[in-house]
Amino acid sequence: MKYVKIIRISGGYFAREFEKHGNARKKTQYREVDERTVVDHFIKGDATIEVIFEDSDRKAILLNPESDPELIKRYLGSRFLT
């Protein structure tokens, strides 16, 4: 399962990414997800999280349970460490 953490100047939130088919104006749609749900799936090893910096030109970071613990702690928080 793939989740997205969107980081803005005003804060951040977790979401799931859905692709629309057909002639949709916006091809990608995000639906907000509770952090507890993301933590549970991430610790089980069922999820990857892409960190997107919305107000900046920084590249997105893809994190999974095998990623560097320092990166996980920095971008997701200590709750995501097993």
Q: What is the pLDDT of residues 30-80, one digit of tens each?
A: 899 999 999 999 999 999 999 999 988 899 999 999 999 999 999 999 999
Mean pLDDT of 2-30: 86
pLDDT given at position 18: 82
pLDDT over 80 (residue 10): yes
Give pLDDT, residue 26.
72
Residue 49: strand pairing partners: 3, 63
Give Cα 67 to chain centroid, integer Å.
Answer: 14
Instruction: Specify whether the CB–CB gap between 39 and 78 falls below 8 A.
Output: no
- CB neighbour list of residue 60: distance below 8 Å, 6 or more residues apart: 50, 51, 52, 53
| Cα(61)–Cα(49) distance, integer angstroms | 8
Predicted TM-score (pTM) of the model is: 0.83
Tokens describing residue 39: 């933590």
DSSP three-state, residue 25: coil
